[in-house]
Amino acid sequence: GRTGSPNSNLAHPEQIGRGLGLGEEEMAAAYNATATELFIMNVAAPTIGSLFSSALALGPMSAVLEARGKVELGDVNPDVFPVLMVNCIAWSIYSAIQSNAYIFSGNIPGVICGLFYTLSTYGLSAGPTRLKIEKLTLALATALILTCFATVTVWKAQQAAVLGLFSNALVFAVFSSPLTTLAEVLRTRNSVSINRPFGIIQVLNCFTWVAYSVYIHDMYLIIPNVFGLALGVVQCALMVVFPAKPLLKLSSSDPNLLANDVLSDYAERTPEPPQEP
């Protein structure tokens, strides 16, 4: 990626206008258009992207807080949280190398939330699940430390490239987490399992970051966000093609009672026939 200012190679609008033989009013309009473009692409887009990134990081918060309240892990999948945390740490380091405050501000909420989610689910888990969280967190942390060490010793001239590739590998893992959900949607033809706000925010978030990364010519930022944008669009398309339908909930895991549960649920959903006079 280019580490310098994205505006450093731009000619001044007045120089462009004189070269094209434009009048004062035309040059003023060209200057205002250029200034507006610079503000949108260099300030507004990454700022909005940072806000959307924060919203994505807060996505699992309600489920984790609910699990903490019940003092049980329940349906919360803890595998993605260590990946989220280390991924955002890696992007924060990448942002420092690139001297980019927008990338930094967009990932710090993920670091904090990812750490909170990891600690919370670790405290609520036991046995193989807890051991899996330990191994995953230690493996990712070790990989990040070794990568950072390599960038300041072996690959000094390729620091951004090494951290960018490492961060891309992790962000693909984060964005790929809904793939199992998409397979379930296609199998059941029901999109009830897709988190609608999360899918919409992912599209908006990745779109703003794609626009910004194209503008600053940062390939390591473009690739994962194009992937995330495509995945978000697929989720939104499935929500339209396969509308969400409420699932039939069974109140007991006892096989002898399942039939009664189904009949009771059906009776509640079915209106009574009108009484004959």
Q: Tell me the C-alpha distance between 233 and 203, whole Å.
A: 6
| pLDDT at res. 276 | 56
| pLDDT at res. 75 | 79
| pLDDT at res. 244 | 82
Q: Tell me the C-alpha distance between 83 and 85, whole Å.
A: 5
Instruction: Identify whether the C-beta of residue 238 lies closer than 8 Å to the C-beta of residue 209.
Output: no
Kindly report, residue by residue over 199-255, the tens digit of the pLDDT: 888 899 999 999 999 988 999 999 999 998 998 899 899 889 988 887 655 444 454
User: What is the distance between the terminal CA atoms of the chain, rounded to a whole angstrom?
Assistant: 80
| pLDDT at res. 257 | 44
The burial class, CB within 10 Å (0-12 / 13-18 / 19+), for 270 is exposed
The burial class, CB within 10 Å (0-12 / 13-18 / 19+), for 223 is middle
Segments in the chain below pLDDT 70: 1-33, 177-178, 247-277
**Single pTM value for the model:** 0.72
| pLDDT at res. 171 | 82
Q: Which residues contact 54 (CB under 8 A, 6 or more apart)?
A: 106, 109
Q: Tell me the C-alpha distance between 143 and 180, whole Å.
A: 26
Three-state SS annotation for 33-82: HHHHHHHHHHHHHHHHHHHHHHHHHCCCHHHHHHHHHHCCCCCCCCCHHH
Instruction: Identify whether the C-beta of residue 99 lies closer than 8 Å to the C-beta of residue 151.
Output: no
The burial class, CB within 10 Å (0-12 / 13-18 / 19+), for 23 is exposed
Q: Which residues contact 159 (CB under 8 A, 6 or more apart)?
A: 97, 151, 152
